[in-house]
Structure formats: C-alpha cells, structure tokens
Structure 1
Amino acid sequence: MAVLLSTKATTMQAWRDALLAVDPSLEIRLFPDAGDPADIEAAVVWTSHDMAELRRYPKLRLIVSMGAGVDHLLRPPGPPPGIPVARLVDRMLTTQMGEWVLLNVLRFHRQDPDYRAQQRDKVWLELDAPVTAQRRIGIMGFGELGTHAAGPLRTLGFPVMGWTRRPRDVPGVETFHGEDGLHAMAARSDILVCLLPLTSATRGIVSASLLARLPGGAFLINGARGGHVVDADLLAALDSGHVAGAALDVFEPEPLPADHRYWSHPKVVMTPHAASITIPSSAAPQVVENLQRARASRPLLNLVDFSAGY
C-alpha cells in the first residue's frame, strides 16, 4: 500500500525524504503520479489539493492536512465521506507563530513604524517611551497557538487576555468567552491578535462592529486566516486612524491581488502567509504515527472535528 503526497513542487522532495527518514519502508507516490488508485491508503495533502480527486482511491483510510488549519478541507465537496482527517499540531509550527506574534507586538509597541517613517524623512525625534505593563494584548483563539504566543508576551510584562468559544481558566491570563466576552476583551485590547480557526462562526469576525470597540489607536495582528477580516472595514478603520496599524499574514484570496490596497497602505505590514511554515522533518513523525494508528484501527492524533470546524 502507498502514501500519496501532494504539496508545492518546491517542498515535495523534502516531504518525501522526511517521511522516509522516519519509516524507510513507506511507498510514497508524488501527485499527480499516483499509479493504481487502489494502492493508495493515505493522502498527505496541502491546500491546493482538490478534495474531489481523493474520491478516486477506494482503499483510502487516512487524510493528513499539512498544517494546523483545515478550512480548505471544508470547502465543497469536502473530503470523501467516512475517511478520517488529521491535522498537524507541531512544535515548530507553534513556535514560529509565537515568534511572529511577538515580532509584531514589539513592532507596534516600540513604535517601529513611526521610527521607520522618521528615518525615511530624515527626522531625528525621540518619541515618548511606551510602558509595557500598560499595553494590553487580547488574543482571539486560545488553543495551542494562542496559549503558546501568550507565554513570551507575559514574560516581557504585557498584560495578556484570551478569548475562546467556551469558558476556560488559564493561570496568569484573564479569559473571556462568548459574544459578550469578545466585546469586553476588544474594548480593552491595545493590540488585538487573531489566531482563531476559520469556521462559519468566525468568518468575518473582525468587522466594523468589533473594530469600533477597540480603543482608539489600537493595532490588529492577524496570523489566522484572511476570511476572519472584513477587508473594507479594516481599511476604513485604518484610514480614519481608529486603528493605528495592522500586521497581516493571511488574506482572501491568496496570493493577494496586485491592485489590493493592503500592498501600499502605509499602516499595513504584510507577510505572504509565512508566519508559520510546516517543516517536514519536524512534522513527519506525527504523520507516520497517524498512519500506523490508522493501520491498527487505533485513535488518531489531532483528528479534525468537522462539526466544530477544526
């Protein structure tokens, strides 16, 4: 039986090598060269793979998504019915996202956009020193990524708040839940960070209504999915000055069209969905472990709950 591997051409060989390093006995086929469809027992895929195509494999028993987010799997027609899907919860992915969040919190906290503008204009002016203990950070989504991102921020002395769908108690963090809780946290967030999974309930959650609840001069950081943000509403808040800046790693669609205003907006810092990139050598052991579990009919690691959307 074989494993079908489908990802970007630039990383296909690295994934193959990483999986074989964990289990040299694996037979790996690189999409689109799947060979006999009846040979495929598992598919390890990323966002570009067509879920309808996976219905070609009659003995498929496992689908693995090469990342933490699974919203791409939820698009019609979705995965083949009855086939379990696992996502990656990987230490390196989590660490990278924490680094990216910290980078951008410090970028805004230490007034880096203002100093870069002064450098461009050859202005020598010392700005008022910011007080870390007074810069409140609100994190939307307090699962694996949000909890980890909160750690370094708390170590530096930032007050950190977290929002989840259901009540959750996290030592050292003030937590909120539900719609009222989100509104309450936003009203106190000098920097609002979005690390939510994208579901029907969270699509468009960063809208004019939520942005209006932020303190004047607040900042937005989005490392989750582009679909969380209503672009027109964020641009209006940036143009008015109510939101002082935004760091955005994710967009809808991707790649971002060349004529989109984010590219040239002076208050927007962009990265090309690069905040947290799966490293095959780190993720491969988890993929192989799930394949072994599927073969033995044992519970899978990080099984996607499609009813919850992640």
Structure 2
Amino acid sequence: MIHVYFAAGAQMWPRYQAPLAQALAAAGVEAVVSEVAPADPTAVDYLIVANGGMVSDFAPFTGARAVLNLWAGVEKLVGNATLTQPLCRMVDPAMTESMVEYVTGHVLRHHLGIDRHILNDRAEWLPEGPGPARSRSVTVLGLGELGSACATMLAALNFRVTGWSRTPKSLPGIRCLSGEAGLSQALAEAEILVLLMPYTAETENLLNAGRIALMPAGAVVINPGRGQLIDDGALLAALDSGHLANATLDVFRVEPLPAEHPFWAHPKVTVTPHIAAETYPETAAVVVAENIRRAEAGEPLMYLVDRGRGY
C-alpha cells in the first residue's frame, strides 16, 4: 500500500480528499492519503504540497519518491536545500483554460477600450472604434504551458502576436523571439504586454524602467504571472508620466495586496485578487494520481522541475 502525505494545508484537505481518492482509484493506484503529519516520515512514499505548505524540512522523508506541488509556481520550494526528492510542478488543464480566459478577456477589454467607452464619467460621445484585432500588436513574455496557450488563443482572434522566451521556441502563427535582443524587439512592439514568466532570480524585475521605456507610448501591461516580474516603482512612474496607459495586475509581491499600496488608488491600475488561474481539485487530482502511477511504474514523471532553471 502506498502512503501519501497531503501536506498542502488543512484548509485545502476537504476540497481534495474525495477528488484524490477518485483519481487514484481511476489510475489503478492503491494508496492511503492522509492530511495528518506522519509519526514515521520514512514511511511516506509521496508528499503533496502547495509551494511549501506544512513542510519546511523534507530531510526526514527519506522514502519519498516525489514531492508533488499543487501550484504552478515552485519558487518557495526550489531553494529548499532539504528537498532532494524529485519535485513536480502543477500543470492543470483547467487552470490553463482559466488563464487563457483571463488574458483574452483583458486583452480584448484594452483593445476595445471598454473602460473608456463604458466608464466614461464625462458623459462624452466617443464614436471612434479600435479597429480590428489584426491592427493590434500583443506581446506575451513566457512561452511555457500557460503563455503558449494564451498566445495561441490571441493569434486565433487575429491579434498580431509576438512571443518571447528565454530559450528558442516555435509556435504556429506566432512570431517567437528569444534572448536579450529578442526581448528588446518584443517590448518595442508591445501595445499590449502580457507577463507569464515564472519567478526566478533571472526574471525578478524583468520589467524595469529601462525595458518599460522600450515599449510604445500608451501601451498596456497585463500581469497574471508573478508580482516579482515588475519593478513596482518603475511601473507607477511610467503610468504617472503617461508612457503607459494602464496596468492590469493579478499578482503582487505581497498578497493580499496591502491596503496602503499605491496600486489600489491609482486611476490607471486595475487590481484583481489573484484569480486569473487557480488549481482545481477535480483536475489537479488527476495530474497528481497520474504522476504517482508513473513513478510506481518506473515511467518518467510529468512536469519535473529543473532545479537549475528554477521551474
């Protein structure tokens, strides 16, 4: 019998208990899953965590064959020296769908000028339209699972989509750039910029004052990726100067966003409470169960984290 320790937090257990049991049974895995800290950590075969959760020291879990994260982000785990077991991040199909819907909705909102036309407190008749999607250039920074899906949907709507990634990628119908020169080019044409990079030492403050200055005047930033990707001060300065028209932000360096943070009151900032894409128990449980099945069968794990790259 396989022993699985659900160490993602007691508040998450009621949502995951039944879906995990069903998914493991469907995968043909006989397992006991418990949210109670084990008396003997060496008896645990797998740990399910949420970017750390209830475990900070993984050293006692000497029999664990994998640590399975319920979140896409692993920034709180990759730097933990005690975590020597294979670590898998979460790629949940339902989470990807939600991210695509959030990004597409806000890109269309800014492209169509919905805020200006519907929330016009001057009661001014503004008949000029935005033009078709093919007239708008959208740049997606990050072409992983989420970024690629969002870029593909935007291209299907006829936006002129440029994707950028640290390493070369290729996606049908999307101009893909990489490297520092590619980043400068991608930003220079970004009328709407979508940030979907992971948070690593290399991506912190990726969007700083110098890179914001490369963007076209009146550009818009949408960040459902990680709060640390943006230099907050540089973003506010660009909004105040008018170089950027708006920033729609779903993620922040500190969450919940502190009440005193200037983002709340800024007229050119839209704050959403980290809702772009959450992990759904029913679909995430299937991913976890499949990885346990794979490990037991000696097959490669899905979404294995590259410790060197940080994701």
Q: How many residues align?
A: 305
Counterpart of 1:125? 125
Q: Which has the higher helix share?
A: 1
Distance 1:292 1:170 in 2: 31
Which amino acid is 1:149 matched to? C
Counterpart of 1:65? 69
TM-superposed CA distance for 1:73, in Å, is 1.2
Counterpart of 1:56? 60
TM-superposed CA distance for 1:175, in Å, is 1.4
In the TM superposition, 1:199-210 aligns within 5 A as 199-210=200-211
Counterpart of 2:93? 91
Counterpart of 1:28? 33
Q: Residue 6 and residue 50 in structure 1: after superposition, are their counterparts in 2 closer, same or farther (change >3 A)?
A: closer
CA contact (8 A) 1:133 1:159 kept: yes
TM-superposed CA distance for 1:170, in Å, is 2.0
TM-superposed CA distance for 1:142, in Å, is 1.2
CA contact (8 A) 1:5 1:16 kept: no
**1:52 aligns to what SS in structure 2?**
coil
TM-superposed CA distance for 1:51, in Å, is 5.0
TM-score (norm 1): 0.93
In the TM superposition, 1:274-289 aligns within 5 A as 274-289=275-290
**2:282 aligns to what SS in structure 1?**
helix
**1:262 aligns to what SS in structure 2?**
coil
CA contact (8 A) 2:6 2:47 kept: yes
CA contact (8 A) 1:167 1:176 kept: yes
TM-score (norm 2): 0.92
CA contact (8 A) 1:73 1:79 kept: no
Please state if 1:102 is matched with 2:104.
yes
| Structure 1 range deviating more: 92-101 or 150-159 | 150-159
Counterpart of 2:303? 302
In the TM superposition, 1:158-307 aligns within 5 A as 158-307=159-308
TM-superposed CA distance for 1:281, in Å, is 0.8
| Structure 1 range deviating more: 131-140 or 54-63 | 54-63
Match of 1:45 among 45, 49, 54: 49
Please state if 1:80 is matched with 2:105.
no
**1:237 aligns to what SS in structure 2?**
helix
TM-superposed CA distance for 1:205, in Å, is 0.3
Residue deviations 1:40-93 (CA, integer Å, cap 9, x gap)? 111111135255332232322210111222112124x34522x00011222111
Q: Percent identity?
A: 36
CA contact (8 A) 1:88 1:286 kept: yes
Distance 2:297 2:100 in 1: 35
**1:72 aligns to what SS in structure 2?**
coil
CA contact (8 A) 2:188 2:215 kept: yes
TM-superposed CA distance for 1:8, in Å, is 4.7
Which amino acid is 2:192 matched to? I
Distance 2:267 2:38 in 1: 47
CA contact (8 A) 1:51 1:79 kept: no
CA contact (8 A) 2:16 2:281 kept: yes
Distance 2:237 2:172 in 1: 36
Give 5+ residue unaligned stretches, structure 2: none
Which amino acid is 1:126 matched to? L
Q: Residue 47 and residue 216 in structure 1: after superposition, are their counterparts in 2 closer, same or farther (change >3 A)?
A: same
CA contact (8 A) 1:191 1:219 kept: yes
CA contact (8 A) 2:140 2:162 kept: yes
Residue deviations 1:196-231 (CA, integer Å, cap 9, x gap)? 111111111011011100000000011111111110
TM-superposed CA distance for 1:247, in Å, is 1.0
Distance 1:50 1:23 in 2: 22
Residue deviations 1:111-136 (CA, integer Å, cap 9, x gap)? 12223431xx2614224200222210
